[in-house]
Amino acid sequence: KTFTYYEEDFWNHDNYNGSIVADDGIVCVSYDDTREDDTLPCIMGFVLSTSAIANMTKQERHTNICQHYAKLFQNKKALKSINYKEKNWTEEQWIGGCYVGTVGPSVLTTCQRKHCEPINDRI
């Protein structure tokens, strides 16, 4: 789990909400984690351990994440993060990881009818 901080919430200025669901790149899911009073603009992102944890330093992950955000938000301001924090949940003895479930491209549209059908008379 990562927190990438910026001087301003550039994604909102470009009419993005800070959310990403990606099947390529270091961050698979992100959300705008800016405080309600608009201070500390931040994007919180989930990084799959297979993508970065073992093979990169913290600084390399930070740089790679900023590059990923710059590409997806189409804004070079993403490269100018002012702070970065991360938590590797796989290091926690009793937790073993932070699981995020996402579906790949076309899954929801392809399975839409089945997804809406009741199961055992339940929705």
Highest mean pLDDT among 5-9, 92-96, 110-114: 5-9
More confident residue, 74 or 24: 74
pLDDT for the residue 109: 76
Question: Is 80 exceeded by the pLDDT of residue 105?
Answer: no
pLDDT at 45: 94
pLDDT, tens digit, 9 for 90 and up, residues 25-50: 888 899 999 998 988 999 999 887 66
Radius of gyration of the chain (CA): 17
Residue 123 has pLDDT above 60, yes or no: no
3-state SS track over 50-107: CCCCCCCCHHHHHHHHHHHHHHHHCCHHHHCCCEEEECCHHHCCCCCCCCCCCCCCCH
Mean pLDDT of 88-95: 78
What is the predicted pLDDT for the residue at 106?
75
Computed from CA positions of residues 57, 58, 62, 63, in that sequence, does the dihedral angle turn out positive or negative? negative
pTM, rounded to two decimals: 0.78
- pLDDT (tens digit, 9 = 90+) per residue, 38-82? 889 999 998 876 656 667 889 999 999 999 999 999 999 999 999
